């Protein structure tokens, strides 16, 4: 996924992260986590809450909370994803990661009937191999992209791009990543199959 700043529940607009020291008083790490998971952050608060959570002495990601799974986007600063959501009317965005198959699928959907899908191959940075997928830098290379209709064909688009992301927070429900361009992604684990 790539994009500008979009929060859950329709909060739209370019996010401007404010420092933890300015504005509202700091919350306990559980409070920041609860705000992120509940989509309770307003425009401009997402990154500050993520930084607050990380500054609260939260342990590093561990193998006990696997990176693999379906993750629903709560917030991102990635311009491309936000364009599809805010300008093109997308209704939800997901990341589907399967470390055993070394695959990453980014999905922006429109009402569960159609979606823009970007497939990637992923690899673990050699320097981080000891920490595993959950603690290491994950490299990705786009391999396919297209507009997919649930009951019909996929209209292909040439994929281009590669990069990496670091998982800076990971537990059973919440993941925060930072990528090569400095973008932030906050996602919540999906328990249902989104079908893409």
Q: How far is CA 180 from the centre of its chain?
A: 13
Q: Please, are residues 49 and 25 in contact by the beta-carbon 8 Å criterion?
A: no
pLDDT digits (tens, 9 = 90+) for 55-80: 876 555 555 568 999 999 999 999 99
Helix (H) or strand (E) holding 101, with range, is: none
Provide the token pair at 92.
Answer: 């939800």
**For 126-164, how does the pLDDT look when each residue is reduced to its tens digit (9 = 90+)?**
776 666 677 778 999 999 999 988 778 889 998 889 999
Q: Is the pLDDT of residue 121 over 80?
A: yes
- So what's the pLDDT on residue 163? 95
What pLDDT shows up at residue 11?
Answer: 33
Please tell me what DSSP assigns to residue 61: P
Tell me what pLDDT residue 63 has.
55
What distance in Å separates the CA atoms of residue 185 and residue 1, rounded to the nearest whole number? 8
Would you state the pLDDT for residue 51? 86
In the DSSP assignment, the letter for residue 42 is P
pLDDT at position 7: 42
pTM (2 d.p.): 0.78
- Report the pLDDT averaged over residues 104-110: 95
For the chain, which residues make up each domain, given as ranges? 61-189
Range 2-23 average pLDDT:
33
Identify the pLDDT of residue 57: 61
**Fold classified for 61-189:** Lipocalin (2.40.128)
Given a cut of 70, whether residue 99 has pLDDT beyond it is yes
Terminal CA-CA length for the chain: 15
């Amino acid at each position: 996924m790539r994009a500008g700043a979009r929060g859950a529940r329709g909060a739209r607009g370019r996010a401007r992260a404010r420092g933890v020291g300015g504005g509202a008083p700091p919350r306990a790490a559980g409070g920041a986590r609860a705000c992120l998971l509940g989509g309770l952050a307003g425009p401009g608060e997402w990154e500050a809450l993520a930084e607050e959570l990380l500054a609260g002495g939260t342990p590093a990601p561990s193998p006990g909370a696997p990176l693999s799974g379906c993750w629903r986007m709560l917030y991102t600063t990635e311009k491309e994803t936000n364009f599809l959501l805010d300008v093109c009317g997308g209704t939800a965005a997901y990341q589907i990661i399967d470390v055993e198959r070394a695959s990453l699928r980014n999905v922006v959907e429109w009402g569960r009937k159609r979606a823009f899908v970007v497939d990637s191959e992923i690899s673990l940075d050699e320097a981080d191999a000891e920490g595993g997928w959950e603690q290491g830098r994950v490299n990705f290379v786009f391999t396919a992209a297209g507009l997919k209709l649930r009951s019909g064909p996929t209209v292909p688009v040439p994929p281009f791009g590669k990069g990496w992301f670091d998982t800076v927070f990971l537990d059973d429900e919440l993941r925060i990543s930072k990528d090569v361009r400095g973008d932030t992604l906050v996602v919540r684990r999906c328990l249902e199959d989104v079908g893409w």
